[in-house]
Amino acid sequence: MAIVETSSPSGTTAPTTATPTRKAWSRARPVVLALIVPALLLAFWQVATTNGMTMLIPTPYQVGEYMIDFAVGGIYDDAYSATLLTHLLASMSRVYGGFAIAAAFALPLGIMIGRMPMARMLLDPFLQLMRPIPVTAWLPLSMILFGLGAKSAFALVCLGAFYPILLNTIFGVRSVDPKLFEAASMLGCRGGAQFYKVVLPAATPSIFTGLRLGLGLAWFVIVVGEMTGVPQGLGAVIMDGRTLSRTELVICGMIVIGIAGYLSDRVVVAIGNRLLRWSPNHHG
């Protein structure tokens, strides 16, 4: 049984026994605290819909019932019954595909801009000019360039994830402490070896921050990306729900995107924490 030391009034420490209840609470406390805000929001939603504050939003029970039908069917048996997995896999392929393409371009470009003054002067003004343009503004142009369907969705998701990864990579590379280069030189690490031994490890925390932001924006943009005429996907489901005035379908799509985005973020955080075990200041 674990022993915990507590301070007595006289200043000495007295061992006390950590009870199983206290240990169980310490483990459950983060989960309980994380559920408080969703529970309050759910309670407000229930009160607002049952007391007639809004007639256009279904109750939590109705949304939950439709979510079950959306996942396994057997309740409404309409065109969307038991199609959750199909739409989720379609959206995941576009999100992760576009995110991977964005990372493949943004990471080396960010490292190059961060390390090479000539590349920074050549590319940074243009990228900063393009960055404020919202993804929705690119929707018509992507449909012209890539046509209707999945290619346009890939392009828009890639565009949405590109800039967070790029900017955080540039920031991480440029923020490396110059004293680290001096210390590496004193230890015999010079030239190109400093990139692998100094720059890349020091910039990795910022790079993973950019990857988290980029993946989150990829899920954010998927609704816009799937406005390009794709038949399957959570964004397509949400747009169909809006067209058909089926608010419960819209909310179900939003909930699934939120859960999928959260789980994706946890995966990136877990990978980052494992790679950054050496850094005492980094824990996602």
- This prediction has a pTM of 0.83
**What are the C-alpha distances in Å from 100 to residues 39, 154, 168, 225, 252?**
35, 10, 16, 16, 27
Residue 155: inside a domain: yes
Conformation bin of residue 73: beta by default, left when phi > 0, alpha when psi is -120 to 50: left
pLDDT digits (tens, 9 = 90+) for 157-167: 999 999 999 99
Least confident of 16-20, 98-102, 151-155, 273-277: 16-20
What's the half-sphere exposure (Cβ side, CA atoms, 13 Å) at 56? Answer: 4
- Strand partners of residue 6: 14
Q: Per-residue confidence at 55, pLDDT binned at 50, 70, 90? A: confident
Q: 165: exposed, middle or buried (C-beta count within 10 Å: 0-12, 13-18, 19+)?
A: buried
- And the tokens for 225? 């990306």
Give yes or no: residues 43 and 121 share one domain. no
53 pLDDT tier (thresholds 50, 70, 90): confident
Residues 32 and 98 in one domain: no
Q: What is the pLDDT of residues 19-49, one digit of tens each?
A: 888 888 888 888 888 889 999 999 998 998 8
The parent domain of residue 90 ranges over: 84-275
Residue 121 falls inside a structural domain? yes
Looking up residue 193, the CATH number of its domain turns out to be 1.10.3720.10
**Helices marked H in 175-245 — which ranges?**
178-186, 193-194, 200-225, 234-243
Alpha carbon distances (Å) from 228 to 91, 136, 160, 249: 13, 11, 15, 19
The verdict on 127 and 267 lying in the same domain is yes
Residues 53 and 191 in one domain: no
Is 90 found in the same domain as 52? no
- Is residue 52 located within the same domain as residue 88? no
